[in-house]
Amino acid sequence: MKKLLLFVLTGCLFSAFVCAQDPKDTEDWSKKPAIVTPGCKHTPPSDAIILFGKAKDLSNWASRSGEAKWKTGYKKMTVNGTGDILTKEKFGDCQLHVEFRTPSKVAGDGQGRGNSGIYIQTHYEVQVLDSYINETYYNGQAGAIYKQSPPLVNTSLKPGKWQVYDIVFHSPKFAADGSVTHPATVTVFHNGVLIQDHYVLKGPTTYAGVPKYSQHGDMPLLLQDHGNPVSYRNVWIRKL
């Protein structure tokens, strides 16, 4: 019995000696992360591209046919029936921060109430809607990937309150022949709550029919004019 115990003990000590590894072996010193100063309250992080900030400045935006003509006011811009607006710069993988406000005066219902949209890469809509006690199809309510994925929860604030989307988007990747090698993915936080968890998009947003990818590179961010006076502020993006 003593011999057996000694044998086991010796074996354990030997194993511990042979298997012991230097903790430094698993330290990664190969790539130093860049230093980014985080935002504070309503300010963006230091490496963000500010698409719409404090000024009444639409110079980063265009309409489909020329100049962007949304109404600008103190720290905000508002849909006014002049059509969608698009960023002049094109983007790929990104982190996007958008604050929006649906009208305090409730008018219409369903899809007709506070409707706008954030079309990432011009093609992929994160729905903006007044979804505070407002029934519509679930994959068309606020925070839905329109007609594809309902939000995990409805965390909409009352009409007239400023709300926030924080979005992480990875653009689709295509082979030379145009076939999809990696579909687009999107993660969305609505007012700090996770509502889309790395959703894999079926293709571009379509109002009717089945989404189908077509090859594209970096594309502008588009904000939708759906005829309702939705306001936006503090729109910034980080390239990933």
Residues that bind Mg ion (CB under 5 A): 115, 117
Give least dist CB 176 to Mg ion, A. 34
Give least dist CB 48 to Mg ion, A. 24
| Runs of H (alpha helix) within 71-144 | none
Closest-by-Cβ residue to Mg ion is 117
Nearest to Mg ion of 44, 143 (CB atom): 143
Give least dist CB 110 to Mg ion, A. 12
Q: Nearest to residue 169, comparing CAs of 188, 149, 189, 143?
A: 188
d(CA 141, CA 113): 10
The answer to whether the CB of 163 falls within 8 A of the CB of 100 is yes
Q: Nearest to residue 62, comparing CAs of 84, 31, 92, 40?
A: 84
d(CA 187, CA 210): 22
Give least dist CB 228 to Mg ion, A. 9
Nearest to Mg ion of 118, 184 (CB atom): 118
| Runs of H (alpha helix) within 83-199 | none
Nearest to Mg ion of 103, 117 (CB atom): 117
